[in-house]
Amino acid sequence: MAEAQLFVSQDEFTCSVCLDTLTDPVTIPCGHNFCLKCLTNYWDQSQEFFCPQCRENFSTRPALRRNALLNEVIKKLKKTGLSSPLSKIYASPGDVECDACAGKKFRAVKSCLTCLASFCQPHLQPHYEIAAWKGHKLVGPDRNLKEKLCMKHQKSLEMFCRTDKTCICLMCGMTEHN
């Protein structure tokens, strides 16, 4: 019988807490997967129990059981040459580092002018999935985010005032500038 081929991305087997291949994977009620150790440590440091990826809140701490099927799939993929994820590219000197990464920082792929932070691909994902963050203004990675904000209103500098020859935010444009 012919064997079917399955094309999967390494990112599908990456823990969004440690950003490494899942180890002792557990699946929580919202359906997301994490390393048992990562999720246990994450919840041990918090008073509330919510999914680190989608932020779904659980009234009580869910019981964690190893996902045996996912664990076997990861073992088989490792034997066939599962490599580190492409999104796991460490920041080099001169790169903008991810502000959300703990330990060794990954290279940022976007900066958020609302959060005033830069994010690698895995940490950027909530900006595409969580409704409250979808309206945030994302730009290319930028290490000088504070320079793009109005000091008075903490808003993005989006206009240029010809009279004062300076960049201003919309609030300044409505209140102080013609």
Domain ranges across the chain:
10-79, 87-143, 145-178
What's the pLDDT at 24? Answer: 92
Classify domain 10-79 at the CATH topology level: Herpes Virus-1 (3.30.40)
C-alpha span between 145 and 133 (Å, rounded): 18
Class of the CATH-defined domain 145-178: alpha beta
The DSSP element (H or E) to which 159 belongs, if any, is strand 159-161
Q: What is the pLDDT along the chain (178 residues), one digit of tens a residue?
A: 455 545 555 667 888 888 788 889 999 999 899 999 989 988 888 888 988 888 889 988 999 999 999 889 888 877 765 544 444 577 888 889 999 888 778 889 999 888 889 998 888 989 988 888 988 888 889 888 878 788 888 787 888 888 888 888 888 888 887 6
What's the pLDDT at 66? Answer: 92
Classify domain 87-143 at the CATH topology level: 30s Ribosomal Protein S18 (4.10.640)
- The residue type at 148: K
pTM greater than 0.85: no
Please check whether residue 126 is in contact with residue 99, taking contact to mean a CB–CB distance below 8 angstroms. Answer: no
